[in-house]
Amino acid sequence: MWKAPPPAAGDNRQTRMGIVMDRHGSAIFVGDAPGLDFLNSIATPADSTIDWIDSGEGLLDWLSQAHLVPAEALKAIRAQALPGELDRVADQARTLREWFRGFVRKHKGRPLRLERLSELEPLNRLLERDQMFGRIVAQRKAEPLPLALQAMRHWRSPQALLLPVGEALARFVCTEDFSLVKACEGPVCTLLFADHTRGRARRWCSMALCGNRAKQAAHRRRLKAQQH
Ligand SMILES: [Zn+2]
């Protein structure tokens, strides 16, 4: 569940794993699907809108928080990037995000149909650029067999940062039931989530954000009604 960002420190920047963190603090991960969390990387948790991917640094920070890119790869890409290069990739990430938001908003609330496949062509073009490979590694979990096949990726340029995002979006359209994709009912909230609750009765991005606000509003309405 989403937690409020920590109070702003002196210069608003801190380092974690050698990466200068963006000033925006904790991003929002309430989508219950990485593809939706990507759409939720711009949101209005309080009075003002925060875009966690508003710059190259923001993109690195968000990818790190989302665990989509290993810390070593983020560090290497950051060290090798030319001036302005990461900001341009962040631009592309925002374009991808808003294109995908249009797709999800248009089709959410009912099963996704095969006829929609052609609309996903831009995503297929991104996936074509992927450079994945496998590596045999030691099994981390307590499994009966000692070895595991791990999916890896070449990180040859900052552009590669878009590939795990593309993979998350592709997994989302291929594995998620679009009938369960909902927009938070908060009046000014833009957050999206997949409702995986048993009763399919989830209405809010989170109780901490919109759920409690709605409860308080209902309480105020009841008080007012009693006074009249
Ligand atoms: Zn909300």
- For ligand 1, the distance from its centroid to the CA atom of residue 207, given in whole angstroms, is 8
Using a 10 angstrom Cβ sphere, with 0-12 exposed, 13-18 middle and 19 or more buried, the burial of residue 64 is buried
Q: What number is the average pLDDT over the span 38-47?
A: 93
- For ligand 1, the distance from its centroid to the CA atom of residue 29, given in whole angstroms, is 12
- For ligand 1, the distance from its centroid to the CA atom of residue 194, given in whole angstroms, is 13
- For ligand 1, the distance from its centroid to the CA atom of residue 210, given in whole angstroms, is 4
Quick one: pLDDT at residue 88? 98
- For ligand 1, the distance from its centroid to the CA atom of residue 167, given in whole angstroms, is 26
Quick one: pLDDT at residue 19? 42
- Whether the pTM exceeds 0.75: the reply is yes
Read off the pLDDT of residues 94-136 as tens digits, 9 standing for 90 and up. 999 999 999 999 999 999 999 999 999 999 999 999 999 999 9
Please check whether residue 212 is in contact with residue 9, taking contact to mean a CB–CB distance below 8 angstroms. no
Predicted confidence band of residue 23 (pLDDT cuts 50, 70, 90): low
* Domain residue extents for the chain: 15-128+157-227
pLDDT at 85 over 80: yes
d(CA 187, CA 193): 15
Read off the pLDDT of residues 137-163 as tens digits, 9 standing for 90 and up. 999 878 889 999 999 999 999 999 999
Quick one: pLDDT at residue 226? 84
Please check whether residue 67 is in contact with residue 61, taking contact to mean a CB–CB distance below 8 angstroms. no
Three-state DSSP state, 223:
helix
Quick one: pLDDT at residue 54? 97
- For ligand 1, the distance from its centroid to the CA atom of residue 26, given in whole angstroms, is 16
Class of the 15-128+157-227 domain? Answer: mainly alpha
Quick one: pLDDT at residue 73? 96
Quick one: pLDDT at residue 50? 95
- For ligand 1, the distance from its centroid to the CA atom of residue 137, given in whole angstroms, is 41
Residues surrounding ion ligand 1 at CB below 5 Å: 184, 186, 189, 191, 205, 209-210
Reference 184, options 44, 67, 26; nearest CA is 44
Quick one: pLDDT at residue 198? 95
